[in-house]
Amino acid sequence: TGPDTVSPTGQPTGAEQARMAQSGSHLTNAQGTRLYDTDHSLKAGPRGPVLLQDHHLREKVMHFDHERIPERVVHARGAGAHGVFRSYGTAADVTKAAFLAEDVETPVFVRFSTVLGSRGSSDTVRDTRGFATKFYTSEGVFDLVGNNIPVFFIQDAIKFPDVIHAGKPHPDREIPQAQSAHDTFWDFVTLHTEATHHTLWNMSDRGIPRSYRTMEGFGVHTFRLVDAEGRTTLVKFHWKPKLGVHSLVWEEAQIINGVDPDFHRRDLADAIEAGAYPEWEFGIQTFPDTPDQTFEGIDLLDPTNIVPEELAPVQPIGLLTLNRNPSNFFAETEQVAFHVGHLVPGIDITDDPLLAGRLFSYLDTQITRLGGPNFPQLPINRPHAPVNDMLRDGMHQTAVHRGTAPYRPNSLDGGCPFTPGASADSASLDGAYVETPVRVPEATKVREAPESFDDHFSQPRRFWLSMSPPEREHIIGAYTFELAKCYEQAIRERALQVLANVDPELCAGVAAGLGLPAPEPTVPLADVEPSPALSQIGHTWPTD
Ligand code: HEM
């Protein structure tokens, strides 16, 4: 698939290996011409002016001037690792995805991240963590682009620019760098109350993980699995750390921020180097694919909802082991490009409106960040399955494609497996990604959310009720600290109103900390059962 620097077996040739290693007996310029000195500019005499004709100086500085690429618009700070995913085969009855068949091993690359801080920010801030996994499967790349929190701030991707504008530093002073303690964040999450659940998780111990190795991961959205017979099952994806779920306490996080801002990435790299390979079990919650796509009254298309594990247990389907550190941060951790639309046969999407926007956004953003449409050719992004696309040319194209007819079907290049006039014959469906023929109900075009998206408080209430006493104390402390940093009193008061609608004890604790009266709820308090699995103390994983 690649340029002539790749041998027929796909390995780089000797000359290409030397170029990548930047090794050899003598230094050259980018064109391979040998240099004798790279420490002195060409001058008119040792103390004279530097000459514009110094082409080596010009090339060296020009390249340096362009070393930086834009950081990710979100999740800019991250740490990555290579590993392997071994399937248990237990999902084979619900999906035909080959990498989930029994005893199959698939290479993976995982990138963990914070969301709001810039590339150089600290690791132990209070924030959501990204948990993105690239599976290089035999049927193409599958990306699971998830977080360590199972719900999201918004229900519709059209609000994503807004929630991120609110969460990033204020545009006038560029502060605060990476904390949620600011007016725009609290303004947004109290005006858009669907954010209450995610915010509560952020204010809990989950917002300050002890290590990437002790975080859960979640696919967040409901996906659709498809088996070999075309039968479908709705599913939520989970990563369960073998080391258990652990967090820092706030004071530890603050001290570590100062003492070692690289705490999480150092911990990950050191553990792998020491052979203490971090492991996660991959699990699924499954739900019948009913026309209304709800389970026990929970709307599965609303990404602010979880399904309690007591109602739908997480079934283990495989093991992820991270066992190799990147050798080049830029080439691997920085250039890796995840996309929720990188799917393989057997895994399909649902109509979650947040997921729909993501399907557009991830591809789009790479054009700015990685300089054009050819980012799948970057080594870290290359599929391990054979590629035979008809995509040609473009910025940063490195392949020298062959053939004269880059379209299908054609009758010129010798590859014409199709019946003229038909887009594909039935044989070509074998192993192909075929969209599930889901019936779209007759509908009128509207810009509105379904009524089932209106309940913003019962799931946060379940989370609060599931917490142990120390976890509750930490949550009250976190809200108090963060809200105390707001300049606007009206925002603090609105936040208290939101908390009153979740739970009076939570609201009273934060109100006392802020020295403000606790308001009465404006909605009836939801009658929900706690879910012990939500508490880090009540956490019952791993099972073995
Ligand atoms: C990046 C997760 C919602 C746009 C990321 C990353 C993760 C993630 C883990 C970092 C990937 C990496 O390490 O390279 C999520 C989750 C979401 C969500 C779990 C909700 C369930 C959205 C939405 C949008 C969006 C709604 C836009 C409409 C982006 C963009 C990036 C990103 C533009 C940067 C990608 C890059 O530069 O490579 N997201 N995200 N995300 N996300 Fe999301």
124-141 pLDDT per residue, tens = 999 999 999 999 999 999
- Among 63, 66, 82, 147, the active-site one is 147
The atom number, within ligand 1, closest to the CA of 337 reads 38
Binned at pLDDT 50, 70 and 90, residue 544 comes out as very low
Helices 250-259 and 469-484 pack at an angle, to 10 degrees, of 60
Q: Which of 85, 146, 89 is nearest to 384 (CA)?
A: 85
Please tell me the distance from the alpha carbon of residue 292 to that of residue 165, in angstroms, as a whole number: 34
pLDDT for residue 464: 98
**Is the CB of 146 inside a 6 Å radius of any atom of ligand 1?**
yes
Report ipTM (2 d.p.).
Answer: 0.95
| Mean per-residue pLDDT, 312-317 | 97
Helix (H) or strand (E) holding 315: strand 315-324
Query: Is the distance from CB of 278 to CB of 241 less than 8 angstroms?
Result: yes
Instruction: Clarify whether 147 is annotated catalytic.
Output: yes
CA dist 214 and 211 (Å) reads: 5
pLDDT level of residue 418 (50, 70, 90 thresholds) = low
Q: What string of DSSP letters covers 326-385?
A: -S-TIIIIIT----TT---TTEE----HHHHHHHHHHHHHHHHHSSSTTGGGSGGG--SS
CA-CA-CA-CA dihedral for 347, 353, 355, 361, to nearest 10:
140
For 247, which DSSP code? B
How many CB atoms within 10 Å of residue 521?
A: 16
Catalytic residue among 26, 63, 75, 396: 75
Confidence class for position 541, pLDDT limits 50, 70, 90: low
Contact yes or no for 418/428 (Cβ under 8 A): yes
**What's the pLDDT at 5?**
56
- pLDDT for position 195: 98
pLDDT of amino acid 354: 98
Q: Rounded mean pLDDT of the chain?
A: 93
Tokens in use for 120?
A: 């150089």
For residue 285, what are its two tokens?
């919650």
Q: What are phi and psi of 354, to 5 degrees?
A: -75, -40
CB count in 10 Å sphere of residue 381: 23
CA 209 to chain centre: 16
User: What end-to-end distance do the CA atoms of the chain give, in Å?
Assistant: 44
pLDDT value for 129: 98
Check whether the bond before 107 is cis (ω within 30° of 0): no
pLDDT of amino acid 417: 56
Say what the pLDDT of residue 441 is: 84
Q: Cβ contacts of residue 349 below 8 Å, gap of 6+?
A: 221, 223, 224, 340, 343, 355, 359
Has residue 487 got a pLDDT over 90? Answer: yes
How far is the centre of ligand 1, averaged over its atoms, from the C-alpha of 478 (Å)? 25
Q: What is the pLDDT of residue 2?
A: 40
**147 close to ligand 1 (CB < 6 Angstrom):** yes
Angle in degrees, CA 534, 538, 544, rounded to 5: 105
Atom of ligand 1 nearest to the CA of 360: 28
Identify the pLDDT of residue 3: 44
Burial of 37 (0-12, 13-18, 19+ CB in 10 A): exposed
Residue 232 pLDDT: 98
Ligand 1 contact, 130 CB (< 6 A):
yes
| DSSP conformation letters of 480-493 | HHHHHT-S-HHHHH
Is any ligand 1 atom within 6 A of the Cβ of residue 365?
yes
CA of 115 to the centre of ligand 1 (A): 9
Please name which of 36, 29, 24, 34 lies closest in space to residue 56, comparing C-alpha atoms. Answer: 29
pLDDT of residue 64: 97
Token pair, residue 156, equals 């519709």
pLDDT beyond 80 at 16: no
Q: Which of 301, 298, 293 is nearest to 311 (CA)?
A: 298
Q: How far apart are CA 145 and CA 339, in angstroms?
A: 7
